[in-house]
A and B are shown apart, each in its own frame.
Chain A
Amino acid sequence: MTATTPTPPASPAAPASSTSPAWKGSSPLLQIRVLTARSMRSLATDPGVILFGLLQPVVILFVLTQVFSKMGPPPHFPAGVSYLDYVLPAVLVDNAIQAAVQSGVGLVDDLKNGIVARLRSLPIAPSSLLVARSMTNLARSTVQAVVIMVLAIGVLGYSPRGGPAEVAASVGLTLFMSWALGWAFIAAGAWLRRAEPMQNLALVAVLPLMFVSSAYVPVADLPAWLAAVAQVNPLTHAIDATRALALDIPGAGAVLPAMVISGVVAIVSAALAAVGFRRPM
């Protein structure tokens, strides 16, 4: 095939002055801020999203506290701890996981929405959108955690054994783990580009994993084979760490490993997410 050059009719070329971009461009920090504000807006205008995210943790909180207040605590329960005290950190972790899954689902929504195609044509760092997604869901899990705390205190009469500082530290650790796990789901979203596998995971896998952990009853009270599984279930360790902080009971040694592991998960996942996201649509 012959190379072809369509030639325009003679016309004066445009002056060079019209060729510099109108604006100087934006810093990654500003990009993250603007894009976070964008995805936060749908949270603000659509409170149903937050309500839906609260559904599972809140239902479990109310059902289990009712059941166990009738039955009395299981034999290996920590002394002097009410069931509500015991289960609340686990409910917050459940909430954190749901929010983390939503990080990935939100990214997939963005990919389908058309906004990603637009962002790709702009002179911005593509990973700004990923960070914005992560920030948004951190905000979301924080709001949900606050709602759960308010319900627990206001309706169920929660008064944590540890002081407010201990509870705050516990919630902080929960949110940090949520943020880290959120990156894992953002990476999954960037590679899979489909929401269903993640939603199915959240529906099918999370609840059983919660039951086969120290979330709702002490591991020692589980049947032997379940206890064996619970021992290797990362949720057990995550919940033990946040619970130790909130109740001011022994076991705070799990806090540092939980933070280190979360940090590693976040860094590795963020790198994977950036690579996956860069692939063409």
Chain B
Amino acid sequence: MITPAASPRPNGDIAIEAQEVTKVFGAVRALDRVSLSVRRGTVLALLGHNGAGKTTLVGVLTAAVPPTSGRAYVAGFDVARKPREIRRRIGLTGQFASVDGQLSGRDNLILIARLLGAGRKAAAARADDLLELFALTDVAARRARTYSGGLRRRLDLAAGLVGHPEVVFLDEPTTGLDPSSRLALWEIVENLVAEGTTVLLTTQYLDEADRLADSIAVLSSGALIAGGTAAELKARVGRRTVVVTLDGAHTAAVAAEALRRASMEPVAGPDTGVIVVPIDASKDIAAVVRALDHAGVEAEELSFREPSLDDVYLTLAGHRPHPARLVQGADA
């Protein structure tokens, strides 16, 4: 769904609004006329490869990076004019840890609460609540510099929530988290949103955006190339697939025939004995299994594949942004 964002000042229902935001660093156009708006109490996922401009956009919206041109409003305040009002209402967890390694986890959170105006008792209580929420109670007394990467990340996430912010910015919040911490964070985000908090998060993972976001914006080389709900985006990006591995070309042919009879559209996979079946919803996996079962075919392996960020880029931009490949390779 594409509509021009033109209103000079967002109404009370809009928590985040960017209007034609451009940011140029020397020769790099990090953001190129980005416009988006996020309604109060919803989640926007900003999707993009390395160097797409996600962190820069978060910087602009948190009044940390002055835009070269364009305007942005957060919680009804202009980022260029009222940075302090914005900082009173936002929580930020940046891409890189911003906690004090010299202090314990608990003291980090207390420090922030005190700076936000909490009394000693209230600050300690808030710190303890957050330590528990992020499963950090056991390490609360240790200096943060002794934390593992994932622990530090969780402390950093907790630090962003100390002031009960109205708008929360999370820059790649689940990078470096183990699967259970990742799931726990997703639940925390869902609870925040249920309480009316607005969340903007950046991610490289389509499934994360799909799970959490009410709307998704895709950045590529500084420009928004698509936006909409997860469902709208996925409808455009292509479908999920089930990959069936069988014990040979002959079985594969039988299986393909059975699937076709069940009105599916199997395609021969990259290897002999592999077929790929596009499906619409995850429950259609059952239909695949039933069709195979019906034909008396036993699959050696059955796997389910979500469309990835690469699929998004291939479909929407017609190419992968070249620097991304390079940087990702270096990352791995």
Chain B residues whose C-beta falls within 8 Å of the C-beta of A42 in the assembled complex: 102
Chain B residues whose C-beta falls within 8 Å of the C-beta of A31 in the assembled complex: 115
B112 in the interface, Cβ–Cβ < 8 Å? yes
The distance from the CB of B94 to the nearest CB of chain A, in whole angstroms, is 6
Contact present for B224 and A1 (CB under 8 Å): yes
Contact A15 to B100, CB < 8 A, known contacts A25-B116, A121-B87: no
The distance from the CB of B68 to the nearest CB of chain A, in whole angstroms, is 13
Chain A residues whose C-beta falls within 8 Å of the C-beta of B20 in the assembled complex: 3
Give A25 to B107 CA distance when docked, in angstroms. Answer: 18
Contact present for B224 and A11 (CB under 8 Å): no
Contact present for B32 and A1 (CB under 8 Å): yes
Contact present for A25 and B117 (CB under 8 Å): yes
Give A177 to B108 CA distance when docked, in angstroms. Answer: 33
Contact present for B163 and A21 (CB under 8 Å): yes
B238 in the interface, Cβ–Cβ < 8 Å? no
Contact A5 to B41, CB < 8 A, known contacts A121-B64, A121-B87: no
Contact present for A23 and B39 (CB under 8 Å): no
Task: Mark contacts of A1-27 with chain B using CB atoms, 8 A cut-off: 1 yes-contact digit, 0 otherwise.
Answer: 111111111011111101101111110
Chain B residues whose C-beta falls within 8 Å of the C-beta of A15 in the assembled complex: 196
Chain A residues whose C-beta falls within 8 Å of the C-beta of B227 in the assembled complex: 4-7
Contact A26 to B2, CB < 8 A, known contacts A18-B195, A121-B64, A123-B87: no
Contact present for A115 and B41 (CB under 8 Å): no
A208 in the interface, Cβ–Cβ < 8 Å? no
Contact A114 to B3, CB < 8 A, known contacts A8-B39, A121-B92: no
Chain B residues whose C-beta falls within 8 Å of the C-beta of A115 in the assembled complex: 98-100
Interface size class of B (residues with CB under 8 A): 35 or more
Give A38 to B62 CA distance when docked, in angstroms. Answer: 25
Which residue on A lies nearest to B226, using beta carbons?
A: A4
The distance from the CB of A125 to the nearest CB of chain B, in whole angstroms, is 9
Which residue on B lies nearest to A31, using beta carbons?
A: B115
Give A11 to B39 CA distance when docked, in angstroms. Answer: 9
Contact present for B2 and A5 (CB under 8 Å): yes
Give A149 to B217 CA distance when docked, in angstroms. Answer: 65
Determine which residue in A22, A25, A38 has the highest number of CB atoms from chain B within 10 A of its CB, and name it: A22
Contact A23 to B98, CB < 8 A, known contacts A11-B41, A121-B62: no
B12 in the interface, Cβ–Cβ < 8 Å? yes
A122 in the interface, Cβ–Cβ < 8 Å? yes
Task: Mark contacts of B66-99 with chain A using CB atoms, 8 A cut-off: 1 yes-contact digit, 0 otherwise.
Answer: 0000000001000000001101111110101111
Contact present for A122 and B166 (CB under 8 Å): no
Which residue on A lies nearest to B143, using beta carbons?
A: A45
Give A14 to B117 CA distance when docked, in angstroms. Answer: 25
Supply 4 further A-B pairs (C-beta < 8 A) apart from A114-B101, A118-B99: A6-B37, A12-B41, A19-B196, A114-B99
B interface with A by C-beta (< 8 Å): 1-5, 12-13, 20, 32-33, 35-42, 44, 62, 64-65, 75, 84-85, 87-92, 94, 96-103, 107, 111-118, 122, 159-160, 163-166, 195-198, 214-217, 223-229
Across the A-B interface, give the 3 residue pairs with the lowest CB-CB distance, nearest first.
A14-B196, A6-B215, A6-B227
11 A-B pairs in the complex with CB atoms less than 8 angstroms apart: A1-B225, A6-B216, A7-B1, A7-B3, A11-B214, A13-B40, A21-B163, A25-B116, A41-B107, A114-B98, A118-B112
A interface with B by C-beta (< 8 Å): 1-9, 11-16, 18-19, 21-26, 30-31, 34-35, 38, 41-42, 113-124, 280
